[in-house]
Amino acid sequence: MFSNASAAAFALLLFSAPARAESPPPPAIVVADFDYTDSSGETRDQQIEHAARLQAFARAIRADLANSGKYRVIDFVCSSDPCSAAKAPTLVDDARKAGAKLVLYGGIHKMSTLIQNGKFQMLDLDDGKLVLDRLISFRGDSDEAWQHAERFLTRELLQ
């Protein structure tokens, strides 16, 4: 078996190993649905396309933030559908009840055939302060243009 010297050496090795510091868990974040307005004046009705792109945009942001490990994206019950800043007056309260520390909300405005702007804010629910306030512009109204805008916003969120 073990000699006294071997056991002592093993115990010394075991107990002298540096303790690993537990890293704190990533902050819990709620990503609200995003609002969309179209004042471009285009004659073709694109509401269905825009709704699908907006949902894909939000899904991609949630997935990218969750996959980054920097945030813990949580699902929550919202008192309104859609659960966006403009349509859910209890969004902040609902996010707090779900245990979120942060809430990301905002929307996209199509100004013309080629130009869209997105305004996004992240609120720290502990102190009520904005920790992110971004206005982004993107050109085009295609799946690719929306995906490019989502990747850009995600990079901003992960800095």
d(CA 153, CA 145): 12
pTM (global) more than 0.95: no
Which helix or strand (DSSP H or E) is residue 30 part of? strand 28-31
How many Å apart are CA 80 and CA 87, to the nearest integer? 7
CATH of the domain at 140: 3.40.50.10070
Q: Is residue 128 part of a domain?
A: yes
Domain span including residue 56: 25-158
Q: Is residue 3 part of a domain?
A: no
Higher pLDDT, 133 or 83: 133
pLDDT score of 80 = 86
**Residues 113-155: pLDDT tens digits?**
899 999 999 999 999 999 999 999 999 999 999 999 999 999 9
The count of structural domains within the chain is 1
59: in domain: yes
Per-residue model confidence as pLDDT tens digits over 44-78: 999 999 999 999 999 999 999 999 999 999 998 88
